[in-house]
Amino acid sequence: MLFIHRDVSKYILKATRSFPSIILTGPRRSGKTFLLKKLFPKAKYFLLEDPNVVSLLRSDPRGFLDDLTGPVIIDEIQNFPELLNYIRALIDAKPSKNGQWLMTGSQEAPLMKGVSESMAGRAAIFQLYPFSSHENSKVSFLKGGFPEVIKKPSIKDIWFRSYIQTYLERDVRSIIAVKDLVTFRKFLSILASRCGQMLNKTDIAAPLGISVATLSQWLGVLESTGQIIIVPPFYENFGKRLVKSPKVYFLDSGLLCHLLEIHNDKMLLESSFKGAIFEGFVAAEIVKNQINNGKRKEIYYFRDEQGLEVDFLVPRADSCLALCEVKSSKTIWPQDVVSMKKLSKGIKSRPVKCFIVTPCTTQLPHLHSVDILSFDQVRTLTE
């Protein structure tokens, strides 16, 4: 497969000069293993789903590791989290030897528990999501950004169907005891239809016949495995009653379109979900660019009980707060910036910049003090 540069690469390479180990997490099939192999071509590689490797580790983990000379890539470390204790001991024996242990994991929450207990201060942790539009110009609403779909878009429907099945069978069942995978699959479809809406757990749980507690657990699994983005409301003392429910988006628009049974451009243009899909795409681009550039995920929305709403609020590197309205229409009207203008006047703690993101930036009216961006310029919001 042709190697396409990933923005996080320079931060990984920099970290190997200061940390003994690297842990790269993210959704399955986002390219974690491929990236590490390309960045460290001389590293030995071990997959912790290989029966022979697992057998050797279970019989003599210390002996197996003692025989290795770094650097070493250990793939899917969450399948053998107790191995982190042995790696920690080897690191502590040679604390000045950096960049020797390169690990990947697809289940962030269980993996992070092991890291916090075993590898604190010894590992630099990164996330790798599917391609952003900045990394690959072939990323689109329908295809999303998974490398294999980008490479072979003609098989995207088969790929997404298989991905969902594999994800349900492997990741979900390995984290929580889902008794009814059919119901969980229905949950994914219902959640897709609520993309961009404020999260009402009771409204989603009721038609599935599950409790709100179970639904919360399922949402936690999707978030921890990099499938969805939970966007919390922005809190600041505005002297108003603010809505407190978060919004939910899918990280990959291609997967979202598949769940909504949108398979081509015509269906997308005619879909009532078009606006929500575009809004979710922008949310994902913001998060990807933050993570890819060594920042933490930080994205909010605003809505008060009087109906004042702004799609996204994003802290920028220049200490400003970006207010962003997302419009799937190519025509922008002055009234589209009214909410941002009202909100910006109430924010006293930091400077504010206003943006509108649209599918196209041509032939748009001039809007004073508002920058208009196309979807492939979203990274500007975080700079």
Q: If you compute the radius of gyration of the chain from its CA atoms, what whole number of angstroms results? A: 22
Phi, psi of 318 (to 5 degrees): -90, 15
Q: What is the pLDDT of residues 114-162, one digit of tens each?
A: 777 788 889 999 999 999 999 999 999 999 999 999 999 999 999 999 9
Q: How far is it, in rounded angstroms, from Cα 34 to Cα 281?
A: 24
Contacts of 58 (CB under 8 A, 6+ apart): none
pLDDT-derived band at 223, boundaries 50, 70, 90? very high
Distance separating alpha carbons of residues 338 and 335, to the nearest angstrom: 5
pLDDT category at 363 given cuts 50, 70, 90 is very low
* Span between the terminal Cα atoms of the chain, in Å: 31
> What does the pLDDT average to over 353-378?
74
What is the Cα–Cα distance from 50 to 33, expressed in whole angstroms?
14
Contacts of 41 (CB under 8 A, 6+ apart): none
Residue 367 — very low, low, confident or very high, per pLDDT cuts 50/70/90? Answer: low
Q: Residue 176 above 70 pLDDT?
A: yes
Q: How confident is the model at residue 33 (pLDDT cuts 50, 70, 90)?
A: very high
